[in-house]
Every structure is written in structure tokens, then in C-alpha cells.
Structure 1
């Protein structure tokens, strides 16, 4: 779900030389990113807390490390919102309403608790991290188009975290083939 119209409010003035209309756009974008980052953090911690199975220890540590990598962007995005004169909508409830990241299946109170033990769980989490990376890329382009190098630079920093997190999860989905040609592929 996209950020609500309330995220476009600019209650504070600033001496920064950024037009108010542009600040409205940037604050709206950043609040959507704050929601996405908070949502992805929560989904990753949910995985950390509930993972079971033969790869428990490795995945438990991986999910915790990935969630920790989102803590700094959460803070930086919220501070950028306020720096631009906006209000950071950062509660969990606000994030759930405004996040562009798809909800995680089976994570409601009535959901299937075996979701975290299913091999498709890794695919779903990798998909959520990839959605986040796509969101960050889109917001980076918008910040560039608006002409705000400070916000664009922030998105440049976050994309590295999003792509690396996706890569780390995808690494658990791929099988090593020992250099053997897979069916239908040309050897290199």
C-alpha cells in the first residue's frame, strides 16, 4: 500500500534551499521508504525468531544480521524526513499501513506457523528483499529527478544493503553444481 496523504505534510520550516513542493514530494517518498524499511526489518526479525529445521543455526544468524543492517537506514531515513521539515511516521502500525512491501504469508495471528519451516520461505523472504531493492532504486531515481543530492545519496547507500541482503538469501536458494553443466545450459 502506498503512503497516505498525511505523509506529505511539512509542519516545519527549514533554511535549506529546497522548494517546499519538492520537500513535500521528498517527505512523502521518504515516509514510504521508512515504512518499507520498518516492514522489511519486522519480516526479517519474524524469520529470525521462528526459523526451524536443519539449517536453523545458520539461518537464525543470517536473519539477525540482515535485520541489523536495516537499523541504520531506518534512523537515517527518519532523520532525513525531519531535516526536510517533515514528520517521520515511524510506528509499526504506520509502517503496516504505508509499506509497499508485500505482507509475509502466514504471519498473521491465525496464519500457518509452519511457513517458516517450508523451503519456499527463503524464496518469499528473498522476494521481499528484492521488492525493497526495487523500491529503493525507484526512490533514488525520483530524488535525482527532483534534484536533491542529499536524499539521492541516502538512497545510494541503502541500495547496497538491499542488494547484499537479497544476495545473501539467494545464496541459500542456489545449488552448487561442482562445475558440471546443468541440463539446457552451455558450459563456460
Structure 2
């Protein structure tokens, strides 16, 4: 059945491309955070193990909400590892040992990258494409990533 929500088919497709790239980034970041949770080592293991668990749990909620926003706009969300790797801006390459600081710096960089992507794409859905809901949705995700980045950044000061 056709989605009739007051946004043209073309505009919805454009917004969905922004959301699909975001979904891929969120999924890759969730996997990387889960990796940190599983593999962190050091004298701060227990605290960082719990911290990373809280972070990936929040990211899993975000992944679901982005996919549901795509479905709300009448499109299918990408859902394969290949599609996520093709769409993501992030690298899945690990560039450090399994220390908490190494994981934190890498995850912080990814949160900041997503924050920049969100900031670059917040206005277009509302101003050009008449999709105020997606613009508001992206704004709320921006605030979430800014806070998650702050929490990571606080560990390396």
C-alpha cells in the first residue's frame, strides 16, 4: 500500500538515503562497541566492560529506531552486513590493542563522525524535502551522540 503522509515519493526516497547511511553507521558502531565490551583488557576491565555494555545497549535502541523511521517513510531498511558495510562512513578496522583507552578513542572518533554527518543532514529534510519529522528525529539523535561522545571523552581527560 502506498505511503501517503504528505511528503512526495521522491522526497521520501531522498530522506531514506540519508537514513540508510545513518543506519549503517549506527549498526557498525554498535558492533564495534560490543567488540570493546567483549575484548577490553586492563586493570579497569570491569568498569569499562559495564560502560561499553551500556553504550551498545543504547546504540541497539538507536539502530532499531532508525530502521523503523525508514519503514515509517514507506521503504525497506537495509538489513545485511554487506549492505551496512557498503553504506557506512565508518571503518570496521581496529587500530589498537585491547586497552580501554584504545577502544574509547576509536569509539569517540566514530561518535564524532556520526555527529558531523547528522549536523550536515539535519536541515535538508525539513527545509528542502518537507519532512519535519525526520529532521526532528535526526536532531534527537545528534543530541544522543553528543552526550555519548562526552561520556567517552570524559574517560580520557
TM-score, normalised by the number of residues in structure 1? 0.76
CA-CA distance at 1:119 after TM superposition: 3.6
| Counterpart selection for 2:49 from 40, 51, 60 | 60
In 2 relative to 1, CA 65–39 (structure 1 residues): closer, same or farther, beyond 3 Å? same
Tell me, in whole angstroms, the C-alpha distance in 2 between the residues paired with 1:29 and 1:162: 17
Q: Structure 1 residue aligned with 2:4, among 4, 7, 15?
A: 15
- Matches of 2:152 and 2:22 in 1, distance apart? 21
* Greater length-normalized contact order (CA 8 Å, ≥ 6 residues apart): 2
Q: Is the 8 A contact 2:41 2:100 kept in 1?
A: no
Shift of 1:92: 2.6
Q: 2:99 maps to what in 1?
A: 117
Deviation of the 1:74 alpha carbon: 1.3
| Ranges of 4+ aligned residues in structure 1 off by more than 4 Å | none
1:144 counterpart = 2:126: yes
DSSP-derived class of the 1:33 partner: helix
Query: How far, CA to CA, are the matches of 1:27 and 1:119 in structure 2?
Result: 35
User: In 1, Cα distance between the equivalents of 2:53 and 2:151?
Assistant: 12
Larger Rg over CA atoms: 1
CA distance in 2, matches of 1:80, 1:120: 33
Moved more, 38-47 or 122-131: 122-131
CA distance in 1, matches of 2:69, 2:138: 11
Partner Cα separation in structure 2 for residue 49 and residue 120 of structure 1: 14
Given that 2:44 and 2:100 are in contact with CA atoms closer than 8 Å, whether structure 1 keeps it comes out as no
Show the counterpart of 1:171.
154
Any gaps of 5 or more consecutive residues in structure 2? none
Q: What is the SS of the residue equivalent to 2:97?
A: helix
Displacement, 1:118? 6.9
Please say if residues 28 and 84 of structure 2, whose CA atoms lie closer than 8 Å, have aligned partners that are also in contact: yes
Asked if the contact 1:38/1:92 (under 8 Å) is kept, the reply is no
1:154 aligns with 2:137: yes
* TM-score normalised by the chain length of structure 2: 0.90
More deviation, 155-164/135-144: 135-144
2:94 is equivalent to residue 105 of structure 1 = yes
